[in-house]
Chains A and B, each alone.
Chain A
Amino acid sequence: MSKSILITRPNYDVTTNYLFYWTQPVISFSEKRNILAYDLYGPKTTRANLESYTAKRNPKIIFLNGHGSSNAITGQDDEEIIACSDKNISKYKNCIFYARSCQSANKLGVSLVNNGATAFIGYRADFIFFRNSDYATKPRMDPIAKYFLEPSNLVMTVLLKGNTTKVADKRSKQSMKKNFLKLLTSNSSMDGREMAPYLWSNIKAQVVLGNKSAQL
């Protein structure tokens, strides 16, 4: 059976709209490497679809985008699509997760790993990004959001290359750190320097739970 990944990317407010468009390069990268990407986008981002695709398609990696909390991650229109309280959370056994959402490493990630998921990469605090409001209709072109979202995509692309969860986390953090230092340099604009604390927060919040040697 060929390797596959499953992606959720709701699109119903400005934050999810940005995550939606910034996930596209990961899908393209996956296709280039002949790794099947099941794409649950927009209204398709439902609990029913996530559970059904996981059960039937057996994806090795699940990449979740959307709003989150310590206990859950949501899909389209704030529907809770995966939560600590799920009775059947062990259905995600052997999956590697990357959750680009707020706080979900605190409890949801722990619960998934304790119930058989191989690993969970996520954030213990809010995942934060700045954006330039002039780019609201073309998020992928936003040079401000790029500082925050491009390094987070690296978690996935490094995993798709067959590297371990530990390496994916490290490379992503190295990229964030590089951007962070760029923002801090004297050549950087004033607005750049003032965004640096928030990128620093993302660096400190990103963690790997479970098997750090896990790979696709």
Chain B
Amino acid sequence: MTPNVDLQNIVVERLRRLPSHLQISIGNSSYSNEELVSSVKDGTKLGKQIMGIQLDYLQDLASGKIYLDE
């Protein structure tokens, strides 16, 4: 497995934990959880953006950056 596939799987599993009544407004559109999962699986532009956000967050979580005051 390449790291990208690993990350893709992690992101998909995290997205699946979101309840179905939640929608996200990002860019010029609003998306359901199912649409986000599909976009990540299909590697669309939106999917790559979601993966980037998750990767950035996981890195900052691991480094402890999220607990630092500005």
- Decide if A and B are genuine partners: yes
A residues bordering B, Cβ < 8 Å?
Answer: 13-15, 18, 67, 102, 126, 128-134, 144, 170, 173-174, 180, 184, 190-191, 193-198, 200-201, 204
**Of B26, B28, B54, which is within 8 A of A128 by CB?**
B26
Task: Name the residue among B29, B49, B53, B56 with the largest chain A CB count within 10 angstroms.
Answer: B53
Q: Are B26 and A197 in contact (CB under 8 A)?
A: no
How close is B24's CB to chain A, nearest CB, in angstroms? 5
Which 10 pairs show the lowest CB-CB distances between chains A and B? A197-B57, A15-B25, A67-B28, A14-B30, A128-B26, A201-B53, A191-B19, A194-B18, A194-B17, A200-B57
Bound CA span A193–B22, Å: 13
B60 on the interface (CB 8 Å rule)? Answer: yes
Task: Give the contact-size bracket for chain B.
Answer: 20 to 34
Which residues on A sit within 8 Å (CB–CB) of B22? 130-133, 144, 191, 195
Given A102-B28, A190-B17, A200-B60 in contact, is the A133-B23 Cβ separation under 8 Å?
yes
How many residue pairs link A and B with beta carbons under 8 A? The number is 75
Task: Name the residue among A14, A144, A198 with the largest chain B CB count within 10 angstroms.
Answer: A198
Which residues on A sit within 8 Å (CB–CB) of B18? 191, 194-195
**Of A126, A131, A193, A204, which is within 8 A of B23 by CB?**
A131
